[in-house]
Amino acid sequence: MSRSPDGPVLALRVVAQEARAHRERAGMTAADAARRLGVHTVTVLRLERGRAVPRADLLERLMKVYGAEPRQTAGLLEQLERARRPGWWKGYGDLVPRRLEGLLRLESEAALSRVYAPALVPEPLRTPGYARQLLALRHPTADEAELDRRLELLLARQRHRGGRLWVLLEEAVLDRASAHSEAVDEQRRALARYAAEPGLDGVTLQWIGADAAPHPLLLNGQVDLVRHPHRLVPDHLVLRVLDAVTVTDTPERVDAYATAMDVAAQRAHEPGTPLPRLRFL
């Protein structure tokens, strides 16, 4: 077995959990499976914990031992191939810390991302000029070449984002984008299109008026809830602060923020409600 080149990989996690589910349905212990394969029990356990990328032939033999159907085996082998495939961000190794590679893969494989944005337009919806202004603010010592490259990375993230995007935007975000400039005007026009046309580019945008009743997410910065299409991959919570990003799938935390997101959505205008006209004068 070889170590995963990307650390925590969602496709590898699917392989691991499916392999364990097949073993349990077959009524075998890890030791039973290892004995049938002629390998050490640790080999089976490491596979089931997603600690290493298994060889394709080993996985195929394992599925045969478990009595899996050919289509089930083919599906797992396809997931294994995805786990071995380098991520799209490999060309940005100088800008993407290894600890964030799992987040980028999560974004690209998502079925649905729910985002609460209290102060700034979230990254998936940022237009190039607006995004560059924020990058310069976040990286004050970066030269023009570095800012260009960071913008290129952000736009690549947008292109590779998977699934649908549902955004809750506080009206304060619009207040911060009220100064007239070409970049800000471009951003406002993009937001106006998303607000008026639910489903445009897979995006649903709802805005929360300044006069709305308080809700729990006001106590937070940006919050993302990301759902993967595979039933064995739990929802993930993403929290961002100035110098760190926290990603967790702890059920209690995910559920708490999902409930808070639902409350915030109840405070928001219905999808399809145009943004306040004043913002576009």
Q: Write the CATH number for 242.
A: 3.30.870
Residues 220, 123 share a domain: yes
Residues 42 and 101 in one domain: no
**244 shares its domain with 221:** yes
> Exposed (0-12), middle (13-18) or buried (19+): which is 225, by Cβ within 10 Å?
buried
Is the same domain home to 252 and 188?
A: yes
Residue ending a domain, among 84, 109, 144, is 84
Q: Comparing 47-56, 64-73, 121-130, 164-173, which segment has the lowest mean pLDDT? A: 47-56
pLDDT of residue 6: 40
My answer on whether 20 and 134 are in the same domain is: no
82: pLDDT strictly greater than 90: no
Whether residue 206 is contained in a domain is answered as yes
Average the pLDDT over 237-263 and give the result: 93
Q: What is the torsion angle, in degrees rounded to the nearest 10, for the CA atoms of residue 110, residue 113, residue 119 and residue 120?
A: 50
pLDDT digits (tens, 9 = 90+) for 26-56: 999 999 999 999 999 999 999 998 877 889 9
Residue 3 has pLDDT above 50, yes or no: no
Q: Tell me, yes or no, whether 2 lies in a domain.
A: no
User: Domain span at residue 61?
Assistant: 10-84
CA 219 to CA 203: how far, in whole Å? Answer: 25
Q: Order across the sheet with 223-227: list the strands.
A: 203-208, 164-170, 112-117, 223-227, 236-241, 244-248
Kindly tell me if the per-residue pLDDT of 201 is higher than 70: yes
Same domain assignment for residues 148 and 199: yes
The answer to whether the CB of 238 falls within 8 A of the CB of 224 is yes
213 found inside a domain: yes
For residue 172, give Cα distances in angstroms to 38, 124, 258.
Answer: 62, 18, 22
Together in a domain, 52 and 173: no
Helix 144-160 crosses helix 101-109 at what angle (to 10 degrees)? Answer: 40
Say yes or no: 123 and 245 in one domain: yes
User: Where a domain ends, among 84, 118, 145?
Assistant: 84
Query: Does residue 186 form part of some domain?
Result: yes
- The reply to whether 123 falls in a domain is yes
Residues in CB range of 166: below 8 A, 6 or more apart:
112, 113, 114, 115, 203, 204, 206
Q: Which residue has the higher pLDDT, 209 or 281?
A: 209
DSSP 8-class letter at 238: E
Tally of domains in the chain: 2
pLDDT on residue 280:
41
CA 52 to chain centre: 22
Q: 166 and 30, same structural domain?
A: no
Say yes or no: 75 and 111 in one domain.
Answer: no
Q: Residue 150: pLDDT above 50?
A: yes
**Pair (76, 135) in one structural domain:** no
Q: Tell me if 37 is assigned to some domain.
A: yes
Kindly state whether residue 184 falls inside one of the protein's structural domains. yes
Residue 178, amino acid: S
Task: Count H helices and E strands in the chain, helices first.
Answer: 11, 6
- DSSP structural state of residue 6: T
Task: CATH number of the domain at 44, please.
Answer: 1.10.260.40
Share of the chain above pLDDT 70, in %: 94
Could you tell me if residue 3 is inside a domain? Answer: no
* Domain boundary, last residue among 31, 56, 84: 84
Average pLDDT over residues 196-220: 95
**What confidence tens digit (pLDDT) does each residue in 108-148 have?**
989 999 999 999 999 999 999 999 999 999 999 999 999 99
Residue 83 vs residue 115, higher pLDDT: 115
pLDDT at 180: 63
Domain shared by 80 and 123, yes or no: no
pLDDT in tens, 224-239: 999 988 887 889 999 9
C-alpha distances out from residue 54 to 15, 25, 49, 90, Å: 9, 21, 11, 22
